[in-house]
């Protein structure tokens, strides 16, 4: 009987180890490190288990009294407990992966929603051009109209080119292009928008610390911009994706307090309600 238990224990551990590739999809850097540490631990424990089972098999062949068998049974029970612990860790990491994937989808849904609004503003402006707005590039008509003032063709062309890089998923180029725009046109009415998309491009690269820093720069430089509420919502998304739920909740509450009538405030309310249910 103990020999059969030992074989079963080894089969169970091998099955656990075989399940590891599922975690290759995990994108979060910290979670990836934890998965790698767990894999190393599983491999080391598997080696120890195999070595220990060999010793048990040899001892069982020479076992002459009941006390030896009892001791072996205890050791096998300890091995089963250790494997149960590792299985629990794997289940925790599975939940973390699902949470990270969900947060990433929410982040890109947020980006997609804002791009759709931008495109809608462009189409409306193209269909109903305002007097004297002939020099406005369609791709930024919505942003220019929101400022109440036109911007030069050179500004709008540079901004549109940078935004196109973001829409194509070329996030590194989008960051460089938007930063170049800010250097060339630091006083442009499109400057807050450019700073916002710098932050979103960093998020697209999963560089959430840089994303938060970029959005905070927007809040410090243009606190009255229509992009300020969106910047705070982006900060909260990045914080939540990084696992900093406490600060994410705090940011959402600050957003509601500072910009209660903004479109971003409605999203903040929904997210806060979701937090309370977790």
Query: For 119-132, what is each residue's pLDDT tens digit?
Result: 556 555 555 544 44
Instruction: Return d(Cα 210, Cα 257) in angstroms, integer.
Output: 25
- 260 token code pair: 């209660």
Q: What percent of the chain has pLDDT over 70?
A: 54
Q: How many CB atoms lie within 10 A of CB 108?
A: 14
Which tens digits make up the pLDDT trace of 232-273?
999 999 999 999 999 999 999 999 999 999 989 998 998 888
82/87 Cα distance (integer angstroms): 9
Multiple choice CATH, 101-277, 3.40.50.920, 3.40.50.970, 1.25.40.10, 2.140.10.10: 1.25.40.10
Residue-wise pLDDT tens digits, 47-77: 777 776 676 666 666 655 566 666 766 776 7
Q: How far apart are CA 35 and CA 26, in angstroms?
A: 9
One DSSP character per residue, 44-86 reads HHHHHHHHHHHHHHHHHHT--SHHHHHHHHHHHHHHHHHHHHH
d(CA 202, CA 91): 30
Residue spans per domain, the chain: 2-99, 101-277
Q: Is the pLDDT of residue 167 over 70?
A: yes
User: How many C-beta atoms lie closer than 10 Å to residue 278's C-beta?
Assistant: 6
What is the model's pTM? 0.54
């Amino acid at each position: 009987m103990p020999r059969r238990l030992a074989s079963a224990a080894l089969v169970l551990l091998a099955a656990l180890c075989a399940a590891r590739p599922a975690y290759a999809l995990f994108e979060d850097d910290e979670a990836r490190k934890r998965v790698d540490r767990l894999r190393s631990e599983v491999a080391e424990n598997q080696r120890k288990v195999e070595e220990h089972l060999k010793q048990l098999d040899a001892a069982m062949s020479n076992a002459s009294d009941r006390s030896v068998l009892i001791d072996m049974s205890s050791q096998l029970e300890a091995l089963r407990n250790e494997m149960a612990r590792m299985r629990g860790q794997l289940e925790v990491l599975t939940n973390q992966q699902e949470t990270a994937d969900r947060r990433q989808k929410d982040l890109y849904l947020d980006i997609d929603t804002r791009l759709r609004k931008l495109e809608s503003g462009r189409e409306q402006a193209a269909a109903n051009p305002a007097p004297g707005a002939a020099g406005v590039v369609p791709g930024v008509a919505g942003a220019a109209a929101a400022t109440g003032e036109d911007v030069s063709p050179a500004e709008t062309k540079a901004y549109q080119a940078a935004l196109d890089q973001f829409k194509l998923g070329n996030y590194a180029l989008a960051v460089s292009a938007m930063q170049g725009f800010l250097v060339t046109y630091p006083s442009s009415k499109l400057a807050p928008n450019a700073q916002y998309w710098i932050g979103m491009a960093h998020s697209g690269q999963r560089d959430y610390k840089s994303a938060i820093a970029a959005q905070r720069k927007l809040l410090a430089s243009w606190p009255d911009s229509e992009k300020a509420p969106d910047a705070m919502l982006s900060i909260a998304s990045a914080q939540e994706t990084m696992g900093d739920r406490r600060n994410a909740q705090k940011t959402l509450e600050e957003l509601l307090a500072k910009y209660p009538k903004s479109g971003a405030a409605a999203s903040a309310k929904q997210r806060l309600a979701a937090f309370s249910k977790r």
